[in-house]
Amino acid sequence: MTTPPTRRGIAVEQAVVHGLLAALGLGAFVMALDYGLFLEESRVGPGLVPAVVGGLIALIAGWELVTTLRGHRTPHDRGLAEVVAATAVDAPSGGASSERATPGGVPAGGSGSMSPDGGPVQMPGPGPGPGPGPDDVDIFGRTPEERSRQLWTVSAALVVAALLVPLLGLLGSLLVLSVFISAVVEKRGWLPSLVVSFLAVAAVYGVFVGFLGVPLPTGLIGIGG
């Protein structure tokens, strides 16, 4: 069976994550040995739980890494493969099967991760699949590449906003964040973006500062607080 490119992408990411987890587990295990597994009189010491847990993580993630590298036969992937096979049988069109296997279309959509045994759910959305496929655009006409770019833009904006807090204050930098997301990421006009963001920040101010009395940091130029 040929692997669609997106499937390979997921497999690579899986390999990376399992590799990282294995390293994390191993690191924790080694450090935990230093903390001491047992105290005097064979009492449970500070290192015991982290060592056992870390060791198990290293073993399991290491095993998953090896199986992922050898032809993607992880239990998870097998689940995915079966889904693909099942949908291929159900729906005669080849397009459906590749749709289900796109990164955006991981089984069970948004919260599939929390319902590992849940099958793909019919998402009310465009098209028959659980999410937009590789060639699909979402309802705002965005391609997957655009969405990927948006994702990283928003993530970076979050980090930048947090870094700006000492300068602009929490509400100040959140205002900037909100305007940025509305205007640049969601491509709404500057005026509506400003108005909506200002209202949102005012609402947050009202609830948290006005009502709950949380002292928010004002930053150097002293917005909010």
Partner 1 sequence: MLDNLVLGFSTALSVENLLWCFVGVLVGTVIGVLPGLGSTTGVAVLLPLTLSLEPVTGLIMLAGIYYGSQYGGTITSVLISTPGEASSVVTTLDGYQMARQGRAGAALSIAAIGSFVAAIISLALLVALAPPFAEFALDFGPPEMLAVMILGLATIISFAGDNRVLGLLMALVGLLIATVGVDPGSGTSRFTFGSIYLLSGIPFVEVMIGLFAVGEVLYQIRQGAAAPIRAGFRELMISREDLRRSGGPILRGSFLGFLFGILPGAGSTLASFMAYGIEKRVSKRGKEFGTGAIEGVAAPEAANNAAANANFVPTLTLGIPGGATTAVLLGAFMIYGIQPGPLLFDEQPTLVWGLLASFFIGNVILLFLNLPLAPVFAQLLRVPYGYMYPLILLTSLVGAYSITNGMYSVWVVLVFGIIGYFMKRLDLPMAPLVLGLVLGPLFEKALVQTSAIGDGNLLIVFTRPLALAVMAIAILQVAAPTIMARLLRRRATPRSRRSDPADSTPEGSSRG
* Range 98-157, binding partner 1 (CB under 8 A): 103-104, 106-126, 131-132, 136-140, 142, 144, 147-148, 150-151, 154-155
71 vs 78, which CB is nearer to partner 1? 78
Cβ pair 224, 172 in contact under 8 A: yes
Using only C-alpha atoms, the chain has a radius of gyration, in whole angstroms, of 24
Hey, what amino acid is at 45? G
Confirm or reject binding of residue 197 to partner 1 (CB under 8 A).
yes
Minimum distance of partner 1 from residue 2's CB (angstroms): 20
35 vs 71, which CB is nearer to partner 1? 35
Minimum distance of partner 1 from residue 25's CB (angstroms): 7
d(CA 47, CA 39): 10
Minimum distance of partner 1 from residue 106's CB (angstroms): 5
d(CA 52, CA 45): 12
CB burial of residue 71 (10 Å; 0-12, 13-18, 19+): exposed
d(CA 148, CA 208): 33
Confirm or reject binding of residue 165 to partner 1 (CB under 8 A).
yes
Judged by CB under 8 A, the chain residues 29 through 68 that form the site for partner 1 are 31-32, 35-36, 39, 41-50, 53-54, 56-57, 60-61, 64
44 beta partners = 38
How many residues make contact with partner 1 (CB under 8 A)?
104
Minimum distance of partner 1 from residue 180's CB (angstroms): 9
If you search the block for the tokens 């390979």, which residue do you land on? 8
Taking alpha carbons only, the member of 79, 80, 98, 77 closest to residue 18 is 77
Start-to-end C-alpha separation, the chain: 60
Confirm or reject binding of residue 1 to partner 1 (CB under 8 A).
no
**Which one of 24, 33, 37, 184 is in contact with partner 1 (CB under 8 A)?**
24
Confirm or reject binding of residue 13 to partner 1 (CB under 8 A).
yes
Minimum distance of partner 1 from residue 185's CB (angstroms): 8
Reading the block at residue 208, the tokens are 């948290």
50 vs 95, which CB is nearer to partner 1? 50
